[in-house]
Chains A and B, each alone.
Chain A
C-alpha cells in the first residue's frame, strides 16, 4: 500500500506544480535558515573538552576591599591575583592545576629579511598540556624544575612551526620571543578548542585559530611580557604586577568527580578565611563552577547568535503554518477523488495515511532543497569576517538532522489537512456537483 500511496502522492504533486513548488520552496527556506543558525549556535556553544569538561573547575575568589560590599549581592571576581593563584597552586589540593595568562608575543624570525610579528601567546604552568590533553607532534611540555629555574623554553603551535621552520622537527632550535632566545621543546598538532575557554576574561578572543606560543609563566614575566587584561581594584601602582592589587591570571583545577569538587570548594573557603584573618582579603564569597556552567555564566555565545537562532525557528514555524494552509487547499480540492476511494472501500485510516505520505514527500523534497539553502547560508557566514567564520561547516550530524527536521515539520503540517480529508463524507462527493 505504501508504494501505492507514493505513486498517488507523486501524481498529485505533479498535477499541481505551482502549488507544490510553493510549498517545497517555503518549507526549504525555513529549514535552510534553521539549520544555518543552529549549526553556528552548536559550533559556538559546544563543549570544548567533552571528555573532561565535568572534571575541570575554575576557582573564583573576591579580593576586593569592603567599600561597596553588599553581602549576598557580591559575586566573586573573574580572575585571580598572582599571589592567590600561586598560593592555591602550591597547595596542590587538586590532581592537576594550571595558572594561565595571555600575552602578545613578539616573534622575531631568525632569517634575515623577515620582519618581527606579533602572535598570540599563553603564559602558563607545567600541567597545562596534560590537563587539557594537548596533542604534541614533536617533543613535550616543560617540568616544574624548568619553571622554578625560569628556564627559557617554549612550546609552539604547528602552524607557527610551519611558518618558521617549514614544518620540520624544530625541538632544540631557538626562537626569539620579545627579544629573548627561547629553546623550543615541543611542537603541537593543530589544537584550537572552541571556545578558547582557558582565555576567557584574560583579554583574548573566544573563538578562532589556536594560540601560537606557550611559555612558562615565570620565565615570560621575568622577560617583562605583559598580560592581556589587568584589573586593578585599588591604588598602588602597577609596576610590579606580581604584588600589585591587580587580578590578571586565571586558574583551572582538575578534580576526580563532584564530591572532590565539594572538598576543593571548602578548601577554597578555608583559604579565604585564612586570608581574611591575615587582613589581606575582606570578602568571603567563593565559587567553583565546572567548565560548562562557567562558560554559560560568561555568556560566551554572542547574544546575536542566539537571537538569530530564535528568529530562524520563528521563520520555520511560519513556513509550517504556510504549508498547512496550502496542503489543506490541495487536499480539499481533491474531495471528489477522496469520495471515490472511500466509496470503493478505503477506510478513514487509509485516506489519512495517503495524505500523510504526500506530506512526507513534500518534507523530503523540502529537506533536500533546505540542505542546499543551508550550505548557501553557511557559505555566506564563512565569508563574514567573524571570529568563528572559517569553522562554520555542515557536519554529518547536522546533515541528518536536516532531514529529521524537514520530515517532522512536514508531518506536523500534514496532520490537519489529512484529518480534514479523511472525514470527507463520500456520498455528497459522488453525486453530480
Chain B
C-alpha cells in the first residue's frame, strides 16, 4: 500500500488531522503519567510493614486519676498498673501474645530521634541517622510476628521501665536491617554499639530484624521509613497502648472481650470507640488518600480514552462522508472492500503515529515537571511504550466502524452525478 496518496489526501484536511493528532498526544501524555501515579500508589499501599498483620489489634487507653509520671513513686505505681493490665490480657482465652508498645507502623504517631556511631552527637548534626523508636518488652516478637535475621530477641532480663518523659540510658536495642546497613555497611552490626539521641552511653545492638516500618506512613517519614529501633523498656504514663495477637479466628471475640476485662481490672480509665482497633483498620486509614487518588486517576483515564475514541469516530465518519464519491471511484477502478478498509486504517495509523510521537515528548515533559513540583520519580520507558501501543490500538478500534462503512460504499456511486 503506497503511502503517498494517503499523505496527499491528508494534506487537504490539515485541520482535522492536526486535531486528531493533538488529541492523541495530549491523551497519551496524561494517561501515561496517570497510570504511572496509579502504579506508584498501588506499590506504596501494598508495602509490607514487616509485621504479621493478621489477628493483630491495638488497645489505646488512658487511666483516670492516675499518679503523675514525674516522680519515681508515681512511675512505679503506673508500671504496676500496666503490668496488671498485661497479666490480665495475657490470661484472656484466645490471646496468643501481648506486648506494650508506644506505637505501631502506620499509626502516624511516632517518637523519632537519631542514632549515630559517635557519642554525644546533637540535633542537626549530619552524622546521625534518623530513626523511630518502639518501646516494648520481650513479647514483641511473638506479638508482632517480626523476623529476626541476626543476633537474638529480647529476653525478660533486658526489659526495664521508665517514666515517659525520662531519659535513662538504653543499654540494648534491636534495629532493622535497613538501619544496620546504614550504620555498619560491611555487616556484623550484632554486638557493636551505637549512640542514640546524642547520649554518651553506648547502646549495644543485640539483634537485627528483617523489616519494620516506622509509624509515619506519609511523606514525613519518606527517607527513613524502614529505620526502626526497638528498645526493651515499658513507658509509664497515664496512658498505655497494648498490641495484642489473637489465635486464628478469635480476633472479633477477643476484641469484644477486652474492654469489659480492662474495666474489671481497673474501672478508672477511658476507653472510647476507637480505643480497640484491628491492624487492618489502621492500615486502611493510613492509606486512604492513596487509594482514593488511584481510583480517581483510573476513572479519569477511562473517561479520557472514551472521549478521545469518540472524537476519532466522529471525525473519521465525517471524512468518510466527504469522500463518498472518491471511494466509489476507487471501487469502480477495481479496489476491493478490504483495500478501502486498509486505506482508512493506515491513514489512522499515520495520524496516530504522529500523535504518539508528540505524545511521548509531552509525556516525558509532563513527567519532568511533575518531578520538580510533586516529588515523583522518572517514568519508566515501559509505561510510555505501553501507552503508545495502547493509543495506537484504541485509534484502530475507533476507526474500524467508520472504515467499514466506507468499505461498503458501492462502486456505482462513481457513476452518479449527485
Contacts and interface: CB of A to CB of B under 8 A. Distances in A.
Interface of A: 19, 22, 26, 29-30, 33, 64-65, 67-69, 106, 108, 115-118, 179, 224, 232-239, 302-304, 306-308, 311-312, 314-315, 317-319, 321-322, 324-326, 328-330, 332-333, 384-386, 416, 420, 432-433
Contact of B64 (A22, A64, A179, A432): A179
Nearest to B418: A433
A26 B297 contact: no
Given A328-B19, A385-B288, 8 more contacts: A68-B123, A117-B270, A224-B68, A233-B122, A235-B122, A315-B303, A329-B318, A432-B417
B300 interface: yes
Interface stretch (B181-189, B206-214, B309-317, B387-395): B309-317
Contact of A234 (B23, B198, B370): B198
A384 B292 contact: yes
B88 interface: no
27 contacts: A22-B314, A26-B311, A29-B307, A64-B123, A68-B122, A68-B123, A68-B124, A108-B64, A224-B68, A233-B122, A233-B124, A234-B122, A237-B167, A239-B165, A307-B370, A314-B26, A315-B303, A315-B304, A319-B307, A321-B19, A329-B16, A329-B314, A329-B315, A329-B317, A333-B322, A386-B288, A432-B417
Nearest to B273: A117
A307 B41 CA distance: 14
B321 interface: yes
Contact of A67 (B19, B27, B122, B308): B122
Nearest to A26: B307
A329 B323 CA distance: 13
Interface in B295-341: 296-297, 300, 303-304, 307-308, 310-311, 314-315, 317-318, 321-322, 325
A65 B272 CA distance: 42
A321 to B, nearest CB: 5
B98 interface: no
Nearest to A304: B293
B166 interface: yes
Contacts of B65: 179
Nearest to A380: B296
Nearest to A232: B123
B209 to A, nearest CB: 27
The SS class assigned to the B binding surface is helix
Contacts of A115: 270-272
A384 B64 CA distance: 35
Contacts of B34: 311
B270 A116 contact: yes
B228 interface: no
Interface centre among A68, A117, A325 (most CB of B within 10 A): A325
B311 A326 contact: yes
Nearest to A117: B272
Interface of B: 15-16, 19-20, 22-23, 26-27, 29-30, 34, 37, 62, 64-65, 68, 70, 121-126, 163, 165-167, 197-199, 270-272, 285, 288-289, 292-293, 296-297, 300, 303-304, 307-308, 310-311, 314-315, 317-318, 321-322, 325, 370, 374-375, 417-418
Contact of B311 (A67, A106, A325): A325
A33 B301 CA distance: 12
Nearest to B128: A68
A235 B199 contact: yes
A115 B270 CA distance: 7
Given A302-B289, A324-B19, A325-B19, A318 B64 contact: no
A330 B29 CA distance: 28
B270 A318 contact: no
Contacts of A307: 37, 293, 370, 374
A417 B63 CA distance: 73
Contacts of B198: 234-235
Interface centre among B19, B27, B270, B417 (most CB of A within 10 A): B19
B167 A26 contact: no
Given A234-B123, A235-B199, A326-B314, A308 B15 contact: no
A306 B293 CA distance: 11
Contacts of B285: 385
A205 B131 CA distance: 23
Contacts of B121: 67
Interface centre among A232, A308, A311 (most CB of B within 10 A): A311
A328 B322 CA distance: 13
Nearest to A118: B272
Contacts of A324: 19
A238 B19 CA distance: 66
Given A65-B122, A69-B124, A237-B167, A325 B62 contact: no
Contacts of A303: 374-375
B314 A318 contact: no
B293 A325 contact: no
Contacts of A386: 288-289, 292
8 A-B pairs closest in CB distance: A68-B124, A329-B318, A325-B19, A322-B311, A233-B123, A238-B165, A116-B270, A67-B122
Given A325-B16, A326-B314, A332 B296 contact: no
Contacts of A234: 122-123, 198
A213 B35 CA distance: 45
A433 B324 CA distance: 11
B78 to A, nearest CB: 13
Contact of B289 (A30, A69, A304): A304
A311 B30 contact: yes
Contacts of B293: 304, 307-308
A321 B22 contact: yes
B122 A318 contact: no
Contact of A235 (B16, B26, B167, B300): B167
Contacts of A333: 318, 321-322
A318 B16 contact: no
Given A233-B124, A304-B293, A315-B300, A325 B315 contact: yes
Contact of A322 (B62, B68, B296, B307): B307
A328 B314 CA distance: 10
B362 to A, nearest CB: 10
B360 to A, nearest CB: 16
Given A315-B304, A325-B23, A432-B417, A67 B16 contact: no
